[in-house]
Chain A
Amino acid sequence: MENLVTANIRSRPTRTFISILAVALGVILMLVVGGIVSGTLDDYLGRTMALGSDFILQPGGSSIFYAFSDASLNQKLTGVIEGLPGVAAVTPVLSKFHAKGFGLVFGIDMESYNKFPGRLEILEGTPSLEGDEVIVDQAYADAQKLKPGMTINVLNHDFTVTAICRPGAVVRVFIPLETMKMLNGTPDKVTIMFIKAEPKADLDTVYQTLADKFPGNSILRASDPNLLLAETRLPGLNEFRMLVVLVSMLLSFMVILLAMYTTIFERTREIGILKSLGASRRFIVGMIIQESAMICGLGALLGIAVSEVIRFVIIARFPTLQVSMTAEDLLRGLVLGLLAGTFGALYPAYKAAKMDPVKALSYE
């Protein structure tokens, strides 16, 4: 049976196409921006956990995005922490954001860093990190086409690549801690300290010992992803993600509202005919909602398909960037796209249902 809804959609191909495109744009915005945020966060958390530390000591109010944190921990605390009961290893890190590579650079003491399970596992080159030497991970080396012996500029300073390590050691670029402190102008200060408890130590006891010893500082439990996420301070991240979802939904909502509102006026006479045929208000509302749902459904599917393409392109061109799009995210994009469009069609549908049939029939 020929359907009035599909016939109406087909009869205005330009309007339909633009509406579908606008809804798709909203879904793309939601999925890609949300995906980059989630991907980056997941990547950070995953690589932080991959080091195998049990605790992370940070100045109070710091963020897991270490770049947001000041270098305000006294490096001398390393010795104090090492002496605490239940502590097996501690390594200080000074982190900086490297704008050129859009990522973090860790200044590390390789000897203590490598006491952790997720130490730098050298895949190529010499395991040396002193002076102006740098070690990068495989993903960074692939993205920048680096080989051991090559020179790269990091933080406005030239370094020689000595080795390429396995990805997953928290960040992708490592320089000597002493060099980083010099570049940062903070000779005694570091950003964070990774702490490993002794294998048989009770983690809660060690945590309490650290909390008592360093009041006012932040101690994250890095062994549990949920705890790490819960205790992580991500300034405005959730609000940002919510804002992206809201903006994309608003985009779909407004486009559908405008498109359907215009359609209602365009079809005033047809609504009058429907009423003269005995169509109930529910029938008319249903017809308009169906039309917008169909447009939004197509828009959301297009948005999902394009988002997947964008994800592949981003990953191919920028291997260090992570875009997370789970089946749940895609389903959310579809549902939110549909919901936004349906809500956008409600007012025009209400207007159509309330229309005076006699006036509608005489509409030119």
Chain B
Amino acid sequence: MGEMKDESSVANAIETINLEMTYRSGRVDVPAVQGLNLTVRQGEFIAIMGPSGCGKSTLLHLLGGLLQPTGGSILIDGIDISRLSDSERTTVRRKKISYVFQRFNLFPTLTAKGNIELAKKIHGNGAQNSNGIAPIFEMLGLGGKFNFRPSELSGGEQQRVAIARAVINRPSIILADEPTGSLDSRNSHTVLRMLRDLNEKLGQTIVMITHDSEAASTASRVIEMKDGRILTPTSRYSYEPEFERLY
């Protein structure tokens, strides 16, 4: 039994055990995540769906170590980050996790290349060189856009730069928060295809939050959340979200 647990821990990129997150609003406790148990295997691409306020973003922030849970545990590659200090969680995030945001969150004063070099610098991964950037730009269809600032790029291109920034340091896990939420359908398809390629070709573990069931269908597993809890883990082919059925 013990052996089996160890083996599964090694194979898991993410594991949450009875995860709790309660915000304090004035004198009222507001539970955002309640007793959540989730396991994501290495190389898995999962989508998390649910209505607004169900705790998806809180969960993503907890998984990335941006928030400290009020209860339970979060294991990232076997490391329990819920027991780490803020600076230790920052180190885990720097080494193992990357974010892709709905609003791209690129630095407007830096070029596309500068944004990626900054991520390398923070990671301590060859701050003074541009190694590895060109192939990723080619793969993401951004060749020739090296020196463009975010304001000179389309939304789709900005998101692709954000993805390039997320993968440049080869993180264990990519946490994508509504990555297609600000894109038109054509760019959404492109971004989702790229995430799938990263997952299938490079074995990249991806956890994606989305409201869009079509985007969710890109993932290998879809999880639905409601009121801070997981409702129904389902497969990509059979998934029909409960909250969409409601409307």
Give A contacts to B, CB under 8 Å.
Answer: 1-2, 4, 7-8, 10-11, 269-270, 272-281, 283, 357-358, 361
Shortest distance in angstroms between B83's beta carbon and chain A's nearest beta carbon?
19
Say if the beta carbon of B48 comes within 8 Å of chain A.
no
Residue of A2, A279, A281, A357 touching B114 (CB-CB under 8 A)? A2
Shortest distance in angstroms between B20's beta carbon and chain A's nearest beta carbon?
16
Q: In whole angstroms, how far apart are the Cα atoms of A283 and B90 in the complex?
A: 11
Determine whether the beta carbon of B109 is less than 8 Å from that of A10: yes
Shortest distance in angstroms between B128's beta carbon and chain A's nearest beta carbon?
6
Give A360's nearest chain B residue, CB to CB.
Answer: B66
Residue numbers in A under 8 Å from B241 (CB-CB): none
- Say yes or no: A276-B110 contact (C-beta < 8 A), given A1-B128, A269-B105: no
Say if the beta carbon of B91 comes within 8 Å of chain A.
yes
- Beyond the given A276-B66, A277-B99, A361-B66, could you list 19 further A-B residue pairs with CB under 8 A, ordered by the A residue number? A1-B114, A1-B130, A2-B111, A2-B114, A2-B117, A4-B110, A7-B110, A11-B109, A269-B105, A273-B105, A273-B107, A275-B66, A277-B98, A277-B118, A278-B91, A278-B93, A278-B122, A279-B90, A283-B122
Residue numbers in B under 8 Å from A361 (CB-CB): 66, 101, 105
Residue numbers in B under 8 Å from A358 (CB-CB): 61, 66-67
- Total A-B pairs, Cβ < 8 A: 72
Determine whether the beta carbon of B107 is less than 8 Å from that of A270: yes
Residues 81 to 129 of chain B near chain A (Cβ within 8 Å): 87, 90-91, 93-95, 97-99, 101, 105, 107-111, 113-114, 117-119, 121-123, 127-128
Say if the beta carbon of B50 comes within 8 Å of chain A.
no
Residue of A1, A273, A275 touching B117 (CB-CB under 8 A)? A1
Q: In whole angstroms, how far apart are the Cα atoms of A110 and B123 in the complex?
A: 80
Residue numbers in B under 8 Å from A275 (CB-CB): 66, 90
Shortest distance in angstroms between B145's beta carbon and chain A's nearest beta carbon?
14
Give B contacts to A, CB under 8 Å.
Answer: 61, 64, 66-67, 87, 90-91, 93-95, 97-99, 101, 105, 107-111, 113-114, 117-119, 121-123, 127-128, 130, 165
Residue numbers in B under 8 Å from A280 (CB-CB): 87, 90-91, 94
Give A5's nearest chain B residue, CB to CB.
Answer: B109
Determine whether the beta carbon of B66 is less than 8 Å from that of A2: no
Residue numbers in A under 8 Å from B110 (CB-CB): 2, 4, 7
